[in-house]
Amino acid sequence: MFTELKSIYPEGIATPNPLIIAGPCSAETREQVLTTARELSANGIRLFRAGIWKPRTKPGGFEGVGPEGLEWLKEVKQETGMQVAVEVANHAHVEAAVAAGIDMLWIGARTSANPFAMQEIADTLSQLNVDCPVLVKNPVNPDLDLWIGALERLYNAGIRRLGAIHRGFSTYGKHLYRNMPQWHIPIELRRREPNLPIICDPSHIGGKRELISSISQQALDMGFDGLIIESHCDPDCAWSDKAQQVTPDVLNFILNTLVIRDQKTSTESLALLRQQIDRIDNEILEQLNKRMSVSREIGQFKKEHRMPVLQANRYDSIMKSRVKLAVEMGMSAEFMTAVLTAIHEESVRQQLEILNRR
Ligand code: PEP
Ligand code: MN
């Protein structure tokens, strides 16, 4: 248990609810860093993030500008007064970041999955005797013990300004989310470590800017302590993660429309109910997509076995049983028939596509 934690926010200042960290996925140029920082600062953001060393899945991608970016972050601090955060993954990164006076460090998902790297970072922080806040992203795989283990290595090295970042978990194949939220995992972390602040990263969970708002609301509804959101002065031209970045003004809009939960906020409020609808729609989409992918597998099977796509008996029995269930649940038979017909049409279309593929 982490019993002696201290605030991750600057000493002596009450941590805002929610804590917001924003900035580009990667520092690209001095111009891009400063422009983004100025716009975020003008919108009231106090904590600025930018990746300097980027762990890329494949070689050949943009791997970050390296230590040169630290100089730009120093300028951000000087000019805007914002605190600055970077991702570190090894001894050299920690040394360079600490020497540059970086205010906050975070550990990426690929690093928190690696106990050797975590121990190296913990040892370096302990040698340097720094009292810098460190946020640990969940490992790429859904392993809560590995996540807690990474945090423990830092705690055992004397780090007390500690927090966790929930950024979702990798899965195989295409999904609505880039990284599945698996909310029960951070919730279990909260149960086991109630003193540990947990921040949500809707940008890396969603992978698309359209999802940031609903994921953020869901996190706040579940009592997360803050949000880390990727923001870029020109998202469509970003050198990494462009689909999930938003301009500082869009970020401002998103933050202003979020419903901050406190004891006084009624769960009946319209905004909250609308957020629930957004969430459920996302779930429906996710499930529909799963159904289509199973249906494509069936299509493949039918093709291999020279079976026709349309199996009238099967379709009829699906219709009858689902419509009956829907009526029992209080929905109309007409409504459910229309929904199932539409789903079936799309399944048939996708199966025919497979059948006609050479
Ligand atoms: C990032 O924050 O830009 C990043 C690389 O995230 P993650 O480690 O969650 O993939
Ligand atoms: Mn990113």
CB contact at 8 A, 248 and 40: yes
The whole-number pLDDT of residue 268 equals 59
CA–CA distances in Å: residue 68 to residues 29, 32, 133: 9, 14, 22
Nearest protein Cα to ligand 1, atom 8: 108
| Predicted structure pTM score | 0.79
Q: The tokens 């000019």 sit on which residue?
A: 79
The whole-number pLDDT of residue 310 equals 80
The whole-number pLDDT of residue 267 equals 56
Q: DSSP labels for 310-355?
A: --HHHHHHHHHHHHHHHHHHT--HHHHHHHHHHHHHHHHHHHHHHH
pLDDT in tens, 105-122: 999 999 999 999 999 999
The whole-number pLDDT of residue 157 equals 97
DSSP 215: H
For 169-172, the CB contacts below 8 A with 24+ separation are: 169/138, 169/140, 169/141, 169/142, 170/140, 170/141
Q: Which residues of the chain have pLDDT under 50?
A: 263-264
Q: Is the shortest distance between the CB of 108 and ligand 1 below 6 Å?
A: yes
Identity of the amino acid at 109: A
| Atom from ligand 1 closest to the CA of residue 111 | 8
pLDDT in tens, 130-167: 989 999 999 999 999 999 999 999 999 999 999 999 99
Nearest protein Cα to ligand 1, atom 2: 25
Q: How far apart are CA 45 and CA 41, in angstroms?
A: 5
Q: How far apart are CA 157 and CA 230, in angstroms?
A: 30
Domains of the chain: 19-257 (3.20.20.70), 268-355 (1.20.59.10)
| Atom from ligand 1 closest to the CA of residue 109 | 8
The whole-number pLDDT of residue 269 equals 65
Q: What's the gap in Å between 240 CA and the centre of ligand 2? A: 7
N-term to C-term CA, the chain:
59
| Atom from ligand 1 closest to the CA of residue 54 | 5
No. of helices (H) and no. of strands (E), the chain: 13, 8
